[in-house]
Amino acid sequence: MTTLAPLSTNPWNVPNALSSIRLLMALVVCACIEWNAWTAALVLFIFAASTDWIDGWWARKYNQVTKLGRILDPFVDKVIICGAMIALVGAQGSPMAPWMATLVVARELLVTSLRGMVEGKGGDFSAKQLGKWKMVLQCAAVVASLLYLRLQPEVPNWLKFALPICLWGSILLTIVSGIQYVLMVVQGARQETKQDIQ
């Protein structure tokens, strides 16, 4: 199992500040959904989700990767997605089903637990490509759902076509990427067992 790159000792830096701002924006998005302020929720969600890569890029480019950042960044990502989906479940006429939000939350809790276990041993649990595409489709599902609610009752045909694709695609990748992480941890545990035996 690969080891983590050296971490910066100063947690108060630009990447962590950006993550903190995105966390506040995620909470405002949930409030906007609760108040049926669809336009504000849509704009804030797109901005928060689209700036996700900035803090990671900045941390790597300027060597500002910290222990706090490795926890805060994925945590904020989960709050943005899970919070928006849970809020959407409670919205009248929402295409987001309760079981969809439950499955996404369960997957994120599982992966977070696995990340804590692996990185607690000094291993690397960086996001895989499939997990990144999962995040993209989950964001697309939230955006499509917000647009659907914003444009009621005159929902355009293209959105009626795209919405289920985004929803079901995000659910599929949520499941598949979760399985990928579980298999990765199982494989790592087997390798450790073999090394201990040797």
Q: CATH number, domain at 36?
A: 1.20.120.1760
Residue with the bigger pLDDT between 10 and 73: it is: 73
Nearest to 95 by CA among 146, 47, 30, 42: 146
Domain residues for the domain of 31 are 14-197
Strand partners for 123:
3
Q: How far is CA 189 from CA 20, 87, 117, 119, 185, in A?
A: 34, 37, 11, 13, 6
Whether residue 1 is contained in a domain is answered as no
> What is the reported pTM?
0.86
Whether residue 144 is contained in a domain is answered as yes
Whether residue 132 is contained in a domain is answered as yes
Percent of the chain with pLDDT over 90: 55
Whether residue 9 is contained in a domain is answered as no
3-state secondary structure of 3: strand
Nearest to 71 by CA among 131, 27, 1, 11: 11
What pLDDT is attached to residue 191? 76
The tokens describing 144, both together, are 């499509």
3-state secondary structure of 91: coil
Whether residue 4 is contained in a domain is answered as no
Structural domains of the chain, count: 1
Whether residue 190 is contained in a domain is answered as yes
141-145: average pLDDT: 97
Whether residue 113 is contained in a domain is answered as yes
How far, in Å, CA of 108 to CA of 71, rounded? 13
Q: Residue 109: what are its φ and ψ, rounded to 5°?
A: -65, -40
What pLDDT is attached to residue 132? 84
What pLDDT is attached to residue 26? 94
pLDDT band of 177, cuts 50, 70, 90: very high
Whether residue 184 is contained in a domain is answered as yes
